[in-house]
Structure 1
């Protein structure tokens, strides 16, 4: 089987496409034929050794997949060859086959396509944990989403609307904002403009947003935090800008505001039942049409480096997926 291999820390073009032995399930494992694998910004960081988790070299990146069960260990119950499943695993997704522990599997709902199934776990899981669990966003509140056209940003918009909130989308181009509008954003703000804080103030009648969802970091963090409402919740989701901001903590004091960390991967490990409940709610919303992953591009396995380069250059809207069998 073919797989993308990271042999040394570096940029996407250092990855190699290799022929590896077919996989066999170990105890408690299921082997999948991977039909689609979601690409996420952490993948760009992991291959450079810049993420919170640092796998041992060599390894195959890719953490969320959808596929078909091809082999099942003798001690595994509940799954059989031919089942269509979703899996979230720390690595190994950018390959034609993947061995995963059975507890990392979830059946694909009837009628769901593989692309959508591979695009829902990390981005929507992260945003659900952030918006619902950590921020406790309520109907009638206002949420500002930075980097709103990215995978987690669009997910946050849709989840906010599903909860009955008002959502302000902030992104770097008007074209990206049009994508945000199509996914339910109520107000659009281009933060490439110098007066974007004034636009946030005007959109909230001077009150400021109750929740700020920030997967970007960098230069946008402090001005956004200065705009937050009294008792607001600022969600620290990631640093796609590449710079970890240093916020003056007196801002939290003056606004009675909370700075809230969001680490979905650790949440999944520590609170698996809560994560399964969140995924069940997300799949329910998907069935009701309240959320719908936006897949802007699909790449064959051989073009994985191109997908990651586009992600690093912030050229991606929503999600992109790798199709290992194509």
Structure 2
């Protein structure tokens, strides 16, 4: 089978596309013939040795796929060869075949195509876990989404609206903000030219924001936290802007707020049944049209470096999907 391989840490140009041996499932696993795989910001980190965990080399990046089950290992009674599925894999997805733990492989209805499903797994899995399990976002609350035009941001906007929240999208350009409004954002902040804290407070009539969804970090974290409401929940999702922020610890004290970590990879490994329950809702919402993964561009595997640079340069609105 063909696979994108990371053989040494470095930039996307170091990745190679090679023919490798077909995979054989271990106990509790399935092998999936990949029809589409989603590109996410962690993929750009894992190839440089900068992510929370590192697989043994050589490895293929790619943490979410959709496809058809090719083979089934022992101890997997609920999945069959030929089933259409979507899966969170951690890595390995930028290939024609990928190994998946059966606990994180979910049936895919015929009404949802493979590209849509591949763009859904990590972003909607992360955002649903963040907003429902971690923040317990309620109808009528306000949700501020930083990096709102990106993959997890667009998912958070739609999930926030499905849960009945007022959604404030924050991004770096007016073009991105117009895009966010087109998928449901109620209000916007351009944090490249507006004061994030002051605008967030103004848009909430001085009350502050109930829930902050932050996949960006860096210099945006502290002003966002200063705009949080009493008993608000600040979701630490990632650090796409670069630096891991250092927060003055008097702020959560004065605000009576919570700073809550969100690591979907750890969640689906430690709480597989709750993750499965989440995806039942996500798939139902996809079928009902309540949410829709925003696909920016499709690429073949051979253009992995080009696609990763598009993502790193923050040109992407929504998700890039590879189609082997």
Q: Same fold (TM over 0.5)?
A: yes
Cα deviation, 1:6-26, whole Å, max 9, x if unaligned, reads: 001111111001111222333
Alignment correspondent of 1:248: 248
Cα deviation, 1:105-137, whole Å, max 9, x if unaligned, reads: 211012110001111111111111111111111
Alignment correspondent of 2:146: 146
User: How many Å separate the matches in 2 of 1:88 and 1:127?
Assistant: 14
Point out 4+ residue stretches in structure 1 off by more than 4 angstroms: none
Query: What SS is found at the alignment partner of 1:232?
Result: strand
- 1:285 pairs with 2:285: yes
- Which is further off, 38-47 or 18-27? 18-27
TM-score when scaled to structure 2? Answer: 0.97
- 1:192 pairs with 2:202: no
Given the superposition, is the C-alpha separation of residues 29 and 176 from structure 1 closer, same or farther in structure 2, using an over 3 Å criterion? same
User: How many Å separate the matches in 2 of 1:209 and 1:146?
Assistant: 12
User: How many Å separate the matches in 2 of 1:76 and 1:194?
Assistant: 53
The gaps in structure 2 that reach 5 residues or longer are none
Cα deviation, 1:37-89, whole Å, max 9, x if unaligned, reads: 01110000000000101111111111110011223346543333322111111
User: How many Å separate the matches in 2 of 1:165 and 1:214?
Assistant: 16
Cα deviation, 1:233-270, whole Å, max 9, x if unaligned, reads: 11111000010000101111111111111111111111
Contact map agreement 2:33 2:98 (CA 8 A) in 1: yes
Query: What SS is found at the alignment partner of 1:230?
Result: strand
TM-score when scaled to structure 1? Answer: 0.96
Alignment correspondent of 2:85: 85
User: How many Å separate the matches in 2 of 1:106 and 1:28?
Assistant: 14
Give the count of matched residue pairs: 324
User: How many Å separate the matches in 1 of 2:6 and 2:92?
Assistant: 10
User: How many Å separate the matches in 1 of 2:230 and 2:99?
Assistant: 48
Cα displacement (A) at 1:196: 3.5
- 1:52 pairs with 2:49: no
User: How many Å separate the matches in 1 of 2:246 and 2:74?
Assistant: 52
Given the superposition, is the C-alpha separation of residues 18 and 207 from structure 1 closer, same or farther in structure 2, using an over 3 Å criterion? same
Alignment correspondent of 2:235: 235
Alignment correspondent of 1:71: 71
Cα displacement (A) at 1:198: 2.5
Contact map agreement 2:172 2:191 (CA 8 A) in 1: yes
User: How many Å separate the matches in 1 of 2:81 and 2:224?
Assistant: 50
Alignment correspondent of 2:18: 18
Cα displacement (A) at 1:178: 1.4
Alignment correspondent of 1:303: 303
Contact map agreement 2:111 2:287 (CA 8 A) in 1: no
Superposed counterparts of 1:108-257, under 5 Å? 108-257=108-257
The gaps in structure 1 that reach 5 residues or longer are none
Query: What SS is found at the alignment partner of 1:44?
Result: helix
Contact map agreement 2:37 2:62 (CA 8 A) in 1: yes
Contact map agreement 2:89 2:99 (CA 8 A) in 1: no
